[in-house]
Amino acid sequence: MRITFCCTGTAPEPWLLGLRAALPEAEVTLWAPGAPPADHAVVWAPPQQFIDEQPGLKALFNIGAGVDALLRLRLPPGMHVVRLDDAGMSVQMAEYVCQAVIRHFREFDLAEADMVAGKWAFRKPRLRADFAVGIMGLGVLGSRVAQALQAFEFPVNGWSRSAKPAAGALAQVRCFAGDAQLPDFLAASRVLVNLLPLTVQTENILNHATLSQLQPGGYVINVARGAHLVDADLLALLDSGHLAGATLDVFRTEPLPAGHPFWHHPKLTLTPHTSARTLRDDSVAQIARKIRALAAGQPIGNMPGVVDTSLGY
């Protein structure tokens, strides 16, 4: 069995060492133009040349949960794409979102500013019942975030492109689905968390029309993709006072350009795409398990993380 590694912007040696240790029966190599055909590939943002030169791959294993960059390439019919279905990212995402929600709800940002200014002050406690959190995207990450927020007794709403069963982590979540129920979901939410996959249908979904439907004083947390958000629309709603603020971890251009107005806006909290980092050891172990399952004859359609390329997730 031959496995090739092609990950743009990623140091290859630690991954190659990990994959070779996890799959000693396989030949694991770093891809270079003209390389011989492989059975499987471990990838992140590979060039089109890689896809063109490896048309016989049984599966592309993406070292992340988001596959939008991969699906922009011309993939041969029948080439399967498998994303990470967790690998330690869901708990990181839950941590990040909970701290952002709590920081806003408890007004810790204002308390920090007061202390920097030498001011000792208190504010009236706010009610959790007034801060319903709406989660857009109820996959592995969204479900884990919903579960974590409920531990802090926030009301949680959820919205997805298609209906999700109200069971497990979603049993106590008020679920909405489809375009018809999006307005009701937004109107029921004061804090909006975006965890949607980036597709043609979801690009620019965080715009003036949708964000203005949030409850007055709404707050936005974007941890999915920068292209979900129309930057100018967010700024306009912040400046008008309809939105109280936002925490942004992802941006249309990364790193965020030096002159971008987000840098110095007083109602924004920014982080450098760090809400849920890929954990290499966990990812290698998950990919190795899946490759072994395929080698043992498991149908790829039964495997967690297989992407429906027609839907984009």
Question: What does the block give as tokens for 45?
Answer: 């943002």
Question: Does 264 qualify as catalytic in the annotation?
Answer: no
| Cα 4 to Cα 290: distance, rounded to the nearest angstrom | 15
- Helix, strand, coil: what percent of the chain each, to 5? 35, 20, 45
Question: What does the block give as tokens for 213?
Answer: 């439907």
Q: Is residue 132 within 8 Å of 157, Cβ to Cβ?
A: yes
Q: Are strands 156-160 and 174-177 parallel, antiparallel or unpaired?
A: parallel
| Cα 59 to Cα 76: distance, rounded to the nearest angstrom | 11
Helix (H, G, I), strand (E, B) or coil at 9: coil
Among 20, 260, 273, 280, which one carries the catalytic annotation?
273
Q: Positive or negative CA dihedral for 153, 154, 155, 157?
A: negative
Phi, psi of 6 (to 5 degrees): -145, 95
Q: Which residue has the tokens 């002050």?
A: 121
Q: Are strands 27-30 and 40-44 parallel, antiparallel or unpaired?
A: unpaired
| Cα 182 to Cα 175: distance, rounded to the nearest angstrom | 10
Beta bridge partners of 48: none
Number of neighbours of residue 261 by Cβ within 10 angstroms: 10
Question: Does 83 qualify as catalytic in the annotation?
Answer: no
Ramachandran region, residue 168 (left: φ > 0; alpha: ψ -120 to 50; beta: rest): left
Closest Cα to residue 138, out of 104, 98, 101, 178?
178
Among 83, 104, 225, 228, which one carries the catalytic annotation?
225
Residues belonging to the active site: 225, 273
